[in-house]
Structure 1
């Protein structure tokens, strides 16, 4: 099958944000600086029912698209809102980018490039393809390894960083995600989903920073719930659709 190469793709950066008033301004400023290198790029912040000043801060950047949700939908619902907007507006590529400053804007070319070149349908920014400065907690590293092995066992897909939320996808995947996207902790599950749809997934090495503000929504208790819930969802994806 011949895959289309895009010389000057339209790109939407999807930034889900919930109570990110401490970090969102810095994240937007870095993205707007990057936009100078890629003028055909737009930034879309989905304010997921924040109770702080996140929305007010984003409104201070008139060049940024703000989708202001009246209620908290969770990460899956917020990200899917961004994909629905990308689909309706006809973007060629969409990129998920964290609001908390963990993702590195200099790596946007790294994950957009393979998608624009038609090399893959989704490119994941990984901390583990090559050794980087990332040093997560032992529990977090164990969880990442667990999902890596589970996904490989069920689908044959090798993904070193299945929980990474730093991803670029093409037009076909935008359309799929606008219709069907997991509601909670979606990153590992969508890998199985895309494998079912015969989509090509690749990884590229990126750097990730520590959170620049706010607090992670994943507590130790939620981590156990997360692993159990996502495991069940992944297994169901495999059983229902096949890989």
Structure 2
């Protein structure tokens, strides 16, 4: 395992209030790893602040989280990185927790290691709708893909090895990317594991998935997952 070839990918959109703090924390506790910020067409000063601390790609238009993440994955693939780690730009994901994903890979290699808020942890604060939706997605994945036992399929904190990088560089969903990417990867025979991590609440701003939106999100995701498993089609 060549840990010197790890790329940290940070997709972000209008995160001017948190991006500098996040990048400074990465510099403090993850020295030696490369970092790239993918600014998904932000309309604030995210790009200006990010490029002062890390290599930053400015997308000319907003592609959504899936497009931003895949841009970073393609960079990892083309530049020969053995691993990439995705963390969000809103400050929820703690850079010092990345070592837990790498440790989980050392102990039991899996192509994808998810940083789980809920594995061995009942204290993470979340709305009932988010909890219910996440649990329903996790149980559906385990039913359709029996080797996949995950607790946090919507987590955006995850480690990908070279095999997953190669797959996602070619195929990555733009809609509901966190859970749908797992279904696509599992269908192609990639393995998925988890590691327990601590996460913060958002530093600034509000999530776009509030109120009853998590339930609507869950129903749409479940439909995508079931179709992915039962009606195999060529991936985009």
Determine the C-alpha separation between the residues in 2 that align with 1:213 and 1:206: 21
Unaligned runs of 5+ in 1: 1-5
Q: Which residue of structure 1 aligns with residue 52 of structure 2? A: 60
Structure 2 counterpart of 1:120: 110
Give the equivalent residue in structure 2 for 1:70: 60
Post-superposition CA distance 1:182-221 (Å, at most 9, x none)? 1022111122111112112111110011001122222335
> Partners in 2 of 1:111 and 1:241 — Cα distance?
30
1:29 to 24, 29, 43: 24
Describe the SS at the equivalent of 1:241: coil
Number of aligned residues: 232
Aligned partner of 2:8 in structure 1 is: 13
Which runs of structure 2 are paired with 1:1-243 in the superposition (5 Å)? 6-36=1-31, 39=32, 41-61=33-53, 64-115=54-105, 119-156=109-146, 157-220=148-211, 222-241=213-232
Taking structure 2 as the reference length, the TM-score comes to 0.92
Q: Find the residue that maps to 2:14 and give its secondary structure.
A: coil
Partner Cα distance (2:104, 2:231) in 1: 30
- Cα distance in structure 2, aligned partners of 1:95 and 1:203: 13
- Please state whether the residue corresponding to 1:44 is helix, strand or coil: strand
**CA deviation after TM superposition for structure 1 residue 8, in Å:** 3.5
Mark the runs of 5 or more structure 2 residues left unpaired by the alignment.
Answer: none
- In the aligned structure 1, how far is the partner of 2:68 from the partner of 2:21? 20
The answer on whether the counterparts of 2:9 and 2:36 sit within 8 Å (CA) in structure 1 is yes
CA contact (8 A) 2:66 2:177 kept: yes
1:132 is displaced (CA, Å) by 4.8
Report deviation, 1:227: 2.1
